[in-house]
Chain A
Amino acid sequence: MIEQGRGRPGGIRSKNRPDCKLVTPLVVWVANGTATDAERAMVVLHTLTCPHCRRELAETLALRRTFQRWVERLPDLPQRAWHGFVDLLEEREEARAGHRAAVEVAEPEAVEIGSVLRPLLAWLAAESPSPAWRMVDWALAYSETQGR
């Protein structure tokens, strides 16, 4: 729908067109070639009659060309990069293998839980007047007679 611009005979007041709101966000994706066929058709048809969106599309296409020219001028990955990668890979793999070996060597011996718990329980039993703790005291004494 084309509205006549106020004060400009025959002019197009494109910013007020409701379909601009649908088309403007699609312009980027038309410019970078990833819009669907339906989206592209919608944008192209719209820009035939909307100078605002036509300018938006032209600017966006120009921006894309600028990016392409600019990034193309950046340096290329050096030829030696693959060999550098292989060296880095070997270095890291060796470091990982070395780390694994060091962890295995440094791993502490397992602590027998009884050696920690038994004195603690004995102390609690000695300090507590409760019959339940006296049962614990008895159990500890029994376990010692059994050599456990």
Chain B
Amino acid sequence: MNGDDAQLIARVGKRDLAAMRVLYEKYAPQLYRFAVARLGDERSAEDVVQETMLAVWQSASRFRGHSTATTWLFGICRRKVAEVYRRGQGREVPGLLHARSESTPPGPGLEFWESFSRLSDEHQEILLLVFYYGFSQEEAAEVLGVPVGTVKSRIHYARHRLREALRDAGAEEGDRKRRRSERSTGT
């Protein structure tokens, strides 16, 4: 574990607000993107980050350093996201990225978002952790609280499902374009 992080968490455990601020500024932006990607809603994502950091503040004194700060924080964050889903507040409208796509540079947009949002929670989590955050097998296993073998099989199936969803989305988009073209030519 990073020694700086261990010291920071130890200081947070002694109610050191300055240390908490350093930890917050280092990790909250990463956790926020994870939460937005999972929830599709900025407000809920911010609430998840605040609740995660609050849990860190309250339990830092019990942190023994068996995991890294990163995996510990992401583990808490994913449980907070799951709580939002249990309360039925997650991903109602995938409009966030669509709205942003008007003003941001070109890149994977609504089609990718829709395909991703069709995946199960487990598959979304592991794809984000592995492909965006670059977690190793062991780190992903720590965050998710599952054996390494489960991580290996889960990432395999998650990729397979995403590939299928993207192919379906591509086919749907092709159909839409074809219908638009037929309408415009009057055939």
Binding site for B on A (CB under 8 A): 25, 28-29, 31-34, 60, 63-64, 66-78, 81-82, 84-86, 88-89, 92
Q: Assuming the A-B contacts A74-B97, A82-B21, A92-B54, are A33 and B29 also in contact, with contact meaning beta carbons closer than 8 angstroms in the complex? A: no
User: In the complex the two chains form, is B53's CB within 8 Å of A75's CB?
Assistant: no
User: In the complex the two chains form, is B54's CB within 8 Å of A73's CB?
Assistant: no
Q: Assuming the A-B contacts A33-B134, A78-B46, A82-B21, are A70 and B108 also in contact, with contact meaning beta carbons closer than 8 angstroms in the complex? A: yes
Q: Is there a chain A Cβ closer than 8 Å to B143's Cβ?
A: no
B34 nearest CB neighbor, chain A only = A71
A18-B33 Cα distance, complex, nearest whole Å: 40
Most B CB within 10 A of own CB, among A68, A72, A81: A81
Q: Is there a chain A Cβ closer than 8 Å to B8's Cβ?
A: no
Among A25, A31, A81, A92, which residue has its beta carbon within 8 angstroms of that of B152? A25
Majority secondary structure, B binding face: helix
Closest 3 CB pairs of A and B: A34-B136, A67-B131, A77-B32
User: In the complex the two chains form, is A70's CB within 8 Å of B113's CB?
Assistant: yes
A67-B132 Cα distance, complex, nearest whole Å: 6
A69-B132 Cα distance, complex, nearest whole Å: 9
A88-B20 Cα distance, complex, nearest whole Å: 14
User: In the complex the two chains form, is A71's CB within 8 Å of B54's CB?
Assistant: no
Can you offer 19 A-B residue contacts whose CB atoms are under 8 A? A33-B134, A34-B135, A63-B131, A67-B128, A67-B132, A69-B108, A71-B37, A71-B128, A73-B100, A73-B107, A75-B36, A75-B42, A75-B100, A76-B32, A77-B28, A77-B29, A77-B32, A84-B46, A85-B24
